[in-house]
């Protein structure tokens, strides 16, 4: 059986350039929305814990203005919320499972004072400094490259009150 001329030359419907561009743009938007939703759900637990730490610092710690909330994990996980009280005094609230510890920043070493003390004792720049909790007391944690070798990082814990060295850990490069 022979096809007629019109049946033999029939083309399948094809997409025009505008339709292809619309289809590609729709796919890109779909992928972008999926990525945003993934990122939001990936750090949702962290953000919820941060909001709860801020709420506790305001309700139980007496802070009225929050400037920073960080999570420190060593032996236990502690949220440290920095802010001001109603009188304008700067405080750090250390939130542990066992309760809160309030530290007046003016009665302890500030981050800048700790960095200055560190600079007098060590060469080089610290990688990170953050408040933390070490041996049941507030502490400063400073991570830096070992002066003897750029292959090892060192982690020092200093007293929050006076900056005395509590413990030094030289981290393996492996």
> What does pTM read for this prediction?
0.75
Domain closes at, from 86, 106, 126: 106
- CA 155 and chain centroid, separation: 18
Q: What is the pLDDT of residue 134?
A: 94
Q: What is the pLDDT of residue 174?
A: 57
128 and 81 in one domain?
no
163 and 136 in one domain?
yes
Which domain does 161 fall in, by range?
111-170
- In a domain, residue 53? The reply is yes
- Helices within 60-142 (DSSP H only): 111-121
Query: CA 121 to CA 126: how far, in whole Å?
Result: 12
Is the pLDDT reported for residue 1 higher than 60?
no
Q: What is the pLDDT of residue 6?
A: 59
DSSP 8-state code for residue 124: S
- In a domain, residue 12? The reply is no
115 and 165 in one domain?
yes
143 and 98 in one domain?
no
- In a domain, residue 150? The reply is yes
Average pLDDT rounded to a whole number, residues 83-91:
93
- Asked if residue 33 lies in contact with residue 55, where contact means CB atoms within 8 angstroms, the answer is no
Q: Which residues contact 54 (CB under 8 A, 6 or more apart)?
A: 66, 69, 81
164 and 131 in one domain?
yes
Query: CA 89 to CA 87: how far, in whole Å?
Result: 6
3-state DSSP assignment of residue 171:
coil
Tell me the pLDDT tens digit for each residue of 9-37: 666 667 788 888 999 999 999 999 999 99
Domain closes at, from 91, 106, 121: 106
- In a domain, residue 137? The reply is yes
The domain that holds 122 is classified in CATH as: 3.10.450.40
Is the pLDDT reported for residue 94 higher than 60?
yes
Domain closes at, from 71, 88, 106: 106
Q: How many domains does the chain have?
A: 2
Helix (H) / strand (E) element for 33: namely helix 17-42
- In a domain, residue 117? The reply is yes
Is the pLDDT reported for residue 8 higher than 60?
no
């Amino acid at each position: 059986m022979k096809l007629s001329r019109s049946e033999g030359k029939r083309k399948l419907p094809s997409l025009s350039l505008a339709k292809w561009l619309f289809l590609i743009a729709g796919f890109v938007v779909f992928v972008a929305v999926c990525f945003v939703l993934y990122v939001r759900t990936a750090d949702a637990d962290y953000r919820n814990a941060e909001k709860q730490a801020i709420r506790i610092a305001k309700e139980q710690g007496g802070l009225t203005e929050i400037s920073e909330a960080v999570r420190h994990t060593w032996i236990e996980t502690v949220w440290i919320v920095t802010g001001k009280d109603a009188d304008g005094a700067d405080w750090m609230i250390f939130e542990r499972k066992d309760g809160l510890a309030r530290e007046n920043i003016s009665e302890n070493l500030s981050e800048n004072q700790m960095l200055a003390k560190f600079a007098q004792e060590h060469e080089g720049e610290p990688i990170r400094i953050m408040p933390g909790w070490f041996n049941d007391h507030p502490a400063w944690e400073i991570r830096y490259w070992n002066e003897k070798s750029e292959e090892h990082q060192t982690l020092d814990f200093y007293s929050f009150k006076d900056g005395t060295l509590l413990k030094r850990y030289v981290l393996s490069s492996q």
